[in-house]
Structure 1
Amino acid sequence: MKNILVPTDFSKEAGYALQLAVDFAKKTNAKLSIIHVIEYYPTASFTTMGPAPESGMPADAFTAQMIEKVEKQFEELRSKEMFDGLDIETIVKIGNPYQNITKKIAALNADLVIMGSKGAHGMDEVMIGSNAERVVRYSKHPVITVKDPIRLEEIKSIAFATDYTETQENLLNHFDKLLEVLDAELYLVRVNTPYNFIPTRGAENNLREFAKKNHLVNVNVSTYDAYKEDAGISAFAEDNDIDLIAIGTHGRKGLMHTISGSIAEDLVNHTNKPVWTCHIK
C-alpha cells in the first residue's frame, strides 16, 4: 500500500478509524492522509459544524475562523506519539463532505480508505444516511468502516461474503492485497435466503470452486440461513467471533439502488463489526 486516506470529524468513531489506519500505515510503510471537510455553505443558516455566521459577520471571516479551529485540532493531533515515524499529511476542505472525500480518494488513488461510522437505523437511515454509506456505495477503492475500537493485530478472522455468481476481478485484486497485510483466518460465506436458496452441499462446493479459481488458500467455507443477506452475514460474524467482514458492492444509483438496495450499505449501518467493501466491476 502507498496511500491511506482517513476522513475525520474528530469524533470517537473517527478516532478509532484513525488508529486502525496508523496500524496499516506502519505495517505497509504507506503515506497517511487525514482529511476534514468543513460542511459550510454561505447561503445556509445552519450547518453540521454549528450555526452560520451571525448577522454582520462576513462569510469569509467565518470560514477563516473555522479553518483556524480545524488547523489547531490537526496540530494537536500531529503531535501525538502514535504518528512517530509516519509520513502524514492533514487536509482541510470546505463544502460537501462526500464530494470532497471522493475527490481526494481519486487524487491519491488511495489503496485504502478507513472511516468511522455511527451507522443509521429506521427513519434516520432513510432520511439521512451517512457520508460513510455513500463512500461505500460509490467508491472504486477499498473502504473499511469502523464503529468500535479495533487494532490491526486483533483482526484474526475475516468473513468474505459472496454468491460466487459473477466476475469479481477488481474486488478480489484488492482483497488479495488486504490478505497480504493481515494474518487472519479466512471464511467464505454464502447466505441462503428463502428467495435465493441453494442446498448446503451444492453451495459449499461452489464456494470451494470459487476459492480455487481465485487462488484463495486455507479457506473455510460455510452457508448460513437467514431471511435477509445482511442479517445473515452479521449473524454469522457474531456466531463465529469474526473480526472483519468483507463484501463487494455494485454502486447502483437512482432507481436501481432504491429497488435493489445494497447489502454492503446495510451492513455498514447495522453491524458493529468493521466492514471492508470494494466495488465489483
Structure 2
Amino acid sequence: MKKILFPTDFSETATNAFVHALELAKIVKGELILLHSFELHLVDNVFYPENYKETFDTLELSKFEQFKDELPKLRAIADEQNLSHINMTHCLMHGNLLHNIEESIETDKIDFVVMGTSGATGWKEMFVGTNTGEVITAVNVPILSVPVDAKFEKIETIGFTTRFREKDKSALKQVISIAKKTNAKVKCLYVKTKETDNTEATFADWKNHFKNDPVSFFILPSEDVKETILDFIRFQGIDVLAMITYKRNFFEALFSSSLSQKMSYNCNIPILVLHE
C-alpha cells in the first residue's frame, strides 16, 4: 500500500490540500500519515536550567492538545468527501519541518508528499523561499503541491513537461500509472526552441515507446518556454501539471511575479513534482 505524508499546520491552506491528499490516497490505494511539526522557542535562563524540561513539557502538552482537537475536523472532512475509509495515522513531531519530513520519509517509507501553498502568487511561493519550496528541492519522492484556491475536481487531464531526455521516460511512466487509475489522459509538452538538440527521430522514438498508453505529444516551437507552458495549461484543460525538478532557478523564473499572477487568475492548479 502506498504511503502519503501530509504535513499540516491546520491552516486553511493545509485543509484545502488535505482533500487532495485524500483523493490521491483513493487513486493510488494508499494511506495517509498526518504530520504536525512544531518548534518551541524557550527563553534562556542561566539561573534555573532545571526549569527547562518542565517548561518544555508544558508547551509540548499544549501542542498535543491542539493537535488532538484538530484531528476530528479532518475526520469530518473525510466523511464529507465519502473517503472515511482511507486509513489515517497521526504524528506529532518537535523540530524543524524539513528535517521531520525527511525523517518520516525514511522511517515510514513514504511514496508521496502532499503540501499546500498559499497566497495569490501561490505557484511562485512553492519554489521561492518557503517550506514547500525547501521540501521540493530537498526530498526525493514525488510531491503534490496544492495552491489554496485549487479546489479538488476529478482529474481528467494531466500535463507533463519534458525535454525528451531518456531518463524522463521513467517519470512519464509514473504519471501514466496515476492517469490510468483515474481514467485520465496525459498530454506531454515539449517546447522546441532554436537551440533544441532533439531530432525528429527522438520524437518518433517517444511516440512509439508510449503508443499503447493514454498519452499524446505536443511539440510547440517557441523561444518563450515559460509562457508556452502556462498557455499549454490554460488551453489544453490541464487539471494537474507534472514537472521534473531540473533546477530550482528554473522554477523561480517560471513563477516570476507577472507569470504567477497570470497563473493565479487563469490556471490555479496543483503541481506534481517528480525528481530526476
The bucket for the TM-score relative to the shorter chain is 0.7 to 0.9
- 1:278 pairs with 2:266: no
1:223/1:176 CA distance change after superposition, 3 Å: closer
Query: Percent identity between the aligned chains?
Result: 23
Q: Which runs of 5+ in 1 are unaligned?
A: 45-56
Give the residue type in structure 1 aligned to 2:114: I
Q: Secondary structure at the match of 1:58?
A: helix
Q: Match for residue 47 of structure 1?
A: none
Q: Match for residue 138 of structure 1?
A: 138
Q: Match for residue 218 of structure 2?
A: 222
* CA distance in 1: counterparts of 2:11 and 2:57, whole angstroms: 26
* CA distance in 2: counterparts of 1:267 and 1:106, whole angstroms: 30
* CA distance in 2: counterparts of 1:211 and 1:175, whole angstroms: 16
Q: Secondary structure at the match of 1:93?
A: strand
* CA distance in 2: counterparts of 1:265 and 1:40, whole angstroms: 35
Match of residue 58, structure 2, among 57, 61, 70:
61
Q: Match for residue 33 of structure 1?
A: 33
Q: Match for residue 48 of structure 1?
A: none
Q: Match for residue 157 of structure 1?
A: 157
Alpha-carbon distance, 1:169 to partner: 5.4
- Cα shift readout 1:146-181 (whole Å, capped 9, x = no counterpart): 1134436x2111111001124235524533432232
Q: Which runs of 5+ in 2 are unaligned?
A: 45-53
C-alpha contact 2:128 2:252 (8 A) present in aligned 1 = no
TM-score, with structure 2 as normaliser: 0.77
- Cα shift readout 1:37-70 (whole Å, capped 9, x = no counterpart): 11334369xxxxxxxxxxxx93432232122212
Give the residue type in structure 2 aligned to 1:42: L
TM-score, with structure 1 as normaliser: 0.75
What's the C-alpha RMSD, in Å, of the aligned pairs?
3.4
Q: Match for residue 13 of structure 2?
A: 13
1:151/1:64 CA distance change after superposition, 3 Å: same
Alignment of 1:80-159 (within 5 A): 80=77, 81=79, 82=81, 83-118=83-118, 129-147=129-147, 148-151=149-152, 154-159=154-159
Q: Match for residue 250 of structure 2?
A: 262
- Cα shift readout 1:248-269 (whole Å, capped 9, x = no counterpart): 114x5xxxx5xxx133894699
Provide the aligned length of Structure 1 versus Structure 2: 254
Dislocated runs of 4+, deviation >6 Å: none
Alpha-carbon distance, 1:102 to partner: 2.1
